[in-house]
Amino acid sequence: MPCSHCGGDLLAVPVPSDLREYLPERTVAVGLCRDCLAMAPVDDPPGSVPDLSGLDDAFPPNPDAAVPLAVLVGLLDSLALNRREITALLERVERAGTDPLLAVDRLADSYGDDAYVDLAGRRRQLEQLL
């Protein structure tokens, strides 16, 4: 399934049950676009969490930090509507040993204008949430 934002390939990521509450559709898996980082629900989850550092080395190798970071990035298109979810995901990523603001900075540097949302601008707004 191609990305609805840019047409790029999606990397399917299973979403653990305790993270599904943060997704609008409470889906079992999401697809993260390799080209723009947009997120979309996926009906058929993979059997295991893929190495998200293949998208960018800003994603930590630890799935306990990488999956919530992926969901967080996917929700950044609507900071106002997803404020509660984003705040909770920021805390989860940090508890798992990764600095979420630094990760978003690095993703902004890597993806630049190709990202589906202005990651650098969202990073500044995220800092205000914390």
Write the pLDDT tens digit of every residue in 77-120. Answer: 998 899 999 999 999 999 999 999 999 999 999 999 999 999 99
Instruction: Please give the tally of structural domains in the chain.
Output: 1
Residue 61: domain span: 10-129
- pTM for the whole structure: 0.94
For the cut 80, the answer to whether the pLDDT of residue 74 exceeds it is yes
CB 89 within 8 A of CB 30: no
Task: Answer yes or no: is 61 within a domain.
Answer: yes
Q: What is the pLDDT of residue 129?
A: 75
Residue 109: inside a domain: yes
Are 38 and 119 in contact by the 8 Å Cβ rule? The answer is no
Q: How confident is the model at residue 26 (pLDDT cuts 50, 70, 90)?
A: confident
pLDDT of 24 above 90: no
Strand runs (DSSP E) across the chain, as ranges?
10-14, 29-33, 39-42
Q: Is residue 4 part of a domain?
A: no
pLDDT of residue 25: 82
Tell whether 19 is covered by a domain: yes
With respect to residue 3, please indicate whether it lies within any of the assigned structural domains.
no
Residue 2 maps to a domain: no
pLDDT surpasses 80 at 4 = yes
Percent of the chain surpassing pLDDT 70: 100
93 is a domain residue: yes
Residue 5 counted as domain residue: no
